[in-house]
Amino acid sequence: MSSQMTPPVASAPPRQLGRSVVALVAGFVAVVILTLITDTALRALKIFPPLGQSMSNELFLVATIYRSIYAVFGSYITARLAPYRPMGHALVGGLIGLVLSIVGAAATWNRPELGPHWYPLALVVTAIPCAWIGGKIRETQLSNPRN
């Protein structure tokens, strides 16, 4: 038998499931609220047509741009509130967004009155990159020694 003791293994931070869920929900809620407010404002300003009327490709492009910006912001919120591994939390939120976007694309595919096919595909394609950007912003903040 050896009399040498092995050094203790560093353990990972305790999993704080509740705070992780709050971080994910907060990011998701922020995206939904910002999107609804923007959609409503653009309809009130008569930039977007009333609900039930079709939009042009250009207006769908506008919606894609601001929803992508909001997705980055929501992912940042998730990463900021995450109890540990901010990028991991942001990417989990992105995966949830990806699944929801795929479901949305499938549900609206045969409904041309809801928009062109490229629009839900754009949301699918941008879900993970937007989540990564939001997580990266938080990681950059954490690595800045002035914080």
Q: How far apart are alpha carbons 105 and 147 in whole angstroms?
A: 41
Q: How many CB atoms lie within 10 A of CB 47?
A: 11
- Asked if the structure places residue 8 within a domain, the reply is no
Domain that holds residue 56: 19-143
Per-residue pLDDT band for 113 (boundaries 50, 70, 90) equals confident
- Asked if the structure places residue 38 within a domain, the reply is yes
Using a 10 angstrom Cβ sphere, with 0-12 exposed, 13-18 middle and 19 or more buried, the burial of residue 10 is exposed
- Asked if the structure places residue 88 within a domain, the reply is yes
Per-residue pLDDT band for 93 (boundaries 50, 70, 90) equals very high
For the stretch 22-56, pLDDT in tens is 999 999 999 999 999 999 999 999 999 998 888 99
Residue 85 has pLDDT above 60, yes or no: yes
- Asked if the structure places residue 7 within a domain, the reply is no
- Asked if the structure places residue 94 within a domain, the reply is yes
For the stretch 6-20, pLDDT in tens is 555 444 455 688 899
Q: How far apart are alpha carbons 29 and 97 in whole angstroms?
A: 12
Say how many domains are in the chain. 1
- Asked if the structure places residue 11 within a domain, the reply is no
Per cent of the chain over pLDDT 70 is 89
Alpha-carbon distance values, 57 to 1, 44, 60, 63, 119 (Å): 75, 19, 5, 10, 9
- Asked if the structure places residue 14 within a domain, the reply is no
Residue 140 has pLDDT above 90, yes or no: yes
Count CA atoms within 13 Å of residue 14 on its CB side. Answer: 3
